[in-house]
Amino acid sequence: MTQGSDTKLARKLRTRDYFSLAFGSMVGVGWLVLMDDWLGRGGPLGAIIAFALGGLLLLPVGYVYGQWVERLPDAAGEAAYSAQAFTPGVSYFTGWMMLLAYFIVCPWEAVAVGKLAAYVFPSLNSYELYSVAGHPVFLPRLMLGIALTLFLAVINYRGIRASATFQNWATSSVLVFFAVLIFASARHGSVNNFHPAFSGAPLASVLLTLQIVPYFMTGFESVPKVAEEAHPEFRSRGFFRAIALAIFVGAGFYVLVIAAVSFVAPWQTLAGRSFATAIAFEHATGTPWLVRLVLLIAIFALFEVFNGNFVASSRLLFAFGRRGTINRSFGTVHAKFLTPSVAIAGIAAATLMGLFLGDALLVPVTEVGSMASATGWLLACLSFFVVEKRAGLRMVAGFAVCVALLLVLMKLLPVFPGHFSITEWIALGIWIALGFGMRHR
């Protein structure tokens, strides 16, 4: 049984939970599934610089988010922040773009679980149902994605504490196993494998990779989406601590995994290879247990990023319903579990629909998700710049605005390499049209 939005969400979360949510929403299986794309864009050094630079550039953005969540702990996040400075239409657009950034990860991971499992069990690439853009959709892989989506939906439906415990467990496993992998890989490979350090001209190589960094670094701003669910004893300064730590650890993770892959194998031999990370360790070390460790890390990472983005997107959808900007039923809170039950069901249903697009979803999602994230960051930081009166904080916010604006323009303007293709413009247009259709005037 459920009841309306007058019921408050459960207050269960502490600092560790917020870090696990932020880091877990950020680090998924892109480092395994799309490593060939990263290296093809930037080469080893270009990709390393892009992710390290991305982490540093996002710190002022994270600081602005830390300030906002202390002042305005609202599940609407960017929609609530932009409402303090701009019109309701701008506020809705801001939140809708961030919903895309979070939600789009869910079908991505639901597809990726089948792709990952098929690497270990090739027989899963059987019983082809149909194809999308030349990519076949196989029944066993589809069923795996459906099962994982329903599993996470049930966990989230039954309470934020269950979801947070699952997130902490998955995040801890990823970090521990990743440390073992980095230590073990140091005994194999050569620095000569880094040559050439860039895929092309150094600046272009860095920019091509930097364009997709927002998608893979999205997650630190998931903290505000569950700010209302903080434990009564939680101190508000813990929000920024969790955000900053997630940015540092997340960027460090990506830098180290790119360096490790490039160290153990000549990176140009990985071009166009699915699961380039696993292939690099398998061919270069001849150590089967290292390959199994890579896949084990990927499984836990997939669980955590899927769950983290499921939590964030369902809370944002719930906030829209509670505000009445979309159908108010999405603002329903379960009377027993104190979770946004209708919003959770909505995200699960939409994920299942996206899942049927199969592997064709993977790369375009990265591109559109990057722009959507940067758009949300831009308007959240711009709102803070408008309302803040203190010069020092306005300076930080102004720098954060410039960073976010650059990341948006790199995807939209044709003068930058790697700008939006017609397919990505169409996908973005469909999402915006859907937002207009769902909005209550």
Tens-place pLDDT, residues 217-232: 888 988 999 999 999 8
Q: pLDDT tens across 27-81, in order?
A: 887 888 788 889 999 999 999 999 999 999 899 999 999 999 999 999 889 999 9
Q: Residue 358 pLDDT > 80, yes or no?
A: no
For residue 5, the model assigns a pLDDT of 46
Question: DSSP string covering 303-358, please?
Answer: HHHHHHHHHHHHHHHHHHHHHTSS-GGGG-EETTT-S-HHHHHHHHHHHHHHHTTG
Pick the CATH number of 2-6+13-438 from 1.20.1740.10, 3.40.50.970, 1.10.760.10, 3.30.930.10: 1.20.1740.10
Q: Strands 333-334, 2-3: parallel, antiparallel or unpaired by DSSP?
A: antiparallel
Domain spans in the chain, listed from the N-terminal domain onward? 2-6+13-438
pLDDT of residue 364: 64
- What are the structure tokens assigned to 74, written together? 């609202």
Three-class SS state of 197: coil
Report whether 305 contacts 126 (CB < 8 A): no
Res 150 pLDDT > 60: yes
The identity of residue 205, as a single letter, is S
Taking the CA atoms of residue 297, residue 299, residue 305 and residue 308 in that order, the dihedral angle to the nearest 10 degrees is -110
Phi, psi of 172 (to 5 degrees): -60, -40
| pTM for this entry | 0.87
- Residue 1 has a pLDDT of 40
- Name the average pLDDT for the chain: 87
Residue 22 confidence (pLDDT): 93
Residues 6+ apart with CB under 8 A from 84: 72, 383, 386, 387
3-state secondary structure of 272: coil
What is the per-residue pLDDT for 366?
A: 63
Q: Lowest-confidence range among 13-27, 121-135, 358-372, 398-412?
A: 358-372
Query: 94, 221 in Cβ contact below 8 A?
Result: no
Lowest mean pLDDT across 205-209, 360-364, 369-373, 431-435: 360-364
Query: Greatest CA separation found in the chain?
Result: 63
| 244 vs 6: which has the higher pLDDT | 244
Strand partners, 295: none
Going by the DSSP 8-state scheme, the letter that residue 13 receives in this structure is B
Stretch 249-261: mean pLDDT: 93
pLDDT at 259 over 90: yes
Q: Is 43 left (phi over 0), alpha (psi -120 to 50) or beta?
A: left
Are 186 and 305 contacting, i.e. CB atoms less than 8 angstroms apart? no
Residue 203, pLDDT above cutoff 60:
yes
